[in-house]
Amino acid sequence: ESPLSTDHWKRHVLDGPAAGKRLFVAALDIDNDKLLDIVAGNSWYKNSGKIGESWQKSRIGAGFENFMIAYDFDGDGDQDLLGTQGDMASSNDSNQFRLALNDGSGNFTLRADLPKGTGDFIQGIAAGRFQGNRIMVPLAWHQKAGITEALFVPDNPAKDPWELKLISPFSLNEKITPGDIDRDGDRDLLLGTAWLENRGDSWSDHIIGETRDLDPESEPDRNSLADINRDGRLDAVVVLEKGVNVLWFEQPENNPTGPWKRHIIGQSPGQGFSMAAVDMDRDGDIDVVVGEHRNPQNKNRLLFFENKDGFGQEWTLSIFDDGADGGMDHHDGLEVKDLDLDGDLDIISVGWKKPELWVYENQAIVK
């Protein structure tokens, strides 16, 4: 397929600084109008269909201060929200979970008596039916070294008790990406340079590779699962804290529990606190978008690594946004979706040092 142009972008500030920190951002249809709205922090923003027009802001509800993940927890066909009481203005209550059940129109009923997590604040989260029919929410904490725990959702999530349980004595304390890594029919959890194998009633941890021979103090931060070389197996894309390399690890043919071959995609001088692996130019292969957080020149850029040969062996870097005039940074919450339904992919992002919310409008296709 012929690549779609990726040269034409317009940046919009969706919302200014919050009192605390918006940890995550997501694009999803909150009010069932077929348009992807945006959720971040304590609010959701209604999509009018045109990115440059006003996004109506609505509070999710009192006591719900920081959005973590969306999922249809009560099975009624709309997206509910899981978040925390704390807004990261301090670390207090950023491990106290809050549930917001959606009525289908963006009005939420809150539940405040969910369990309190054992870490300080969330860095990785997923949701789904991983083992049996019960919904589980795996969690990775910023500071709670060495464990992965999970919320277990009852059949009646609005009324019955939720449970918090340890599921593994292993964690990399960063992003959690679900996917059927070993192709056995259930979903496993990628943690970065390691993964947790779903064994039906337990989890086994496996190391896929290292990064500290390249960046001595590096730690895997954001990660994605995608078939980079189109061999039918999920590979791991990994970006780093305290490291500049953007990497992908190639899943071996026969033994996913052993070492995976490491490939260097390129470098992100501002490190890797935000990343998405997606076919950005719509040419049939997986590209990588990285948002910088700690650029040494204080110009945190939005980087695009194009999968030039289609198999992850040759990559070309271009700059979507040079960060020169905005003072922004990109932290945890970068997501790529077609917000205006024009056929190209737009980008949403949220900052930490400058906690604003941005939309990057892709103008490759203009209706």
Specify the higher pLDDT residue, 91 or 186. 186
* pLDDT at position 58 over 70: yes
Q: How much is the pLDDT for 304? A: 99
- The model's pTM: 0.97
Q: How much is the pLDDT for 91? A: 58
pLDDT in tens, 301-311: 999 999 999 99
Cα 30–chain centre separation: 18
Residue 110: closest CA among 59, 144, 152: 59
Percent of the chain's residues with pLDDT above 70: 98
Structure tokens at 143: 């500071």
Q: What is the mean pLDDT of the chain?
A: 96
pLDDT in tens, 265-319: 999 999 999 999 999 999 999 999 999 999 999 999 999 999 999 999 999 999 9
325 — pLDDT class (breaks 50, 70, 90): confident
Q: How much is the pLDDT for 13? A: 94
pLDDT in tens, 75-98: 999 999 999 999 987 657 899 999
Average pLDDT on 206-232 reads: 98
* pLDDT at position 225 over 70: yes
Q: How much is the pLDDT for 215? A: 95
Average pLDDT on 131-156 reads: 93
* pLDDT at position 1 over 70: no
Average pLDDT on 54-64 reads: 97
Structure tokens at 270: 């501002």
Average pLDDT on 148-152 reads: 98
Average pLDDT on 197-219 reads: 98
Torsion angle in degrees (nearest 10) through CA of 356, 360, 366, 367: -40
CB 151 within 8 A of CB 163: yes
* pLDDT at position 185 over 90: yes
> What are phi and psi for residue 262, nearest 5 degrees?
-95, 140
Q: How much is the pLDDT for 367? A: 72
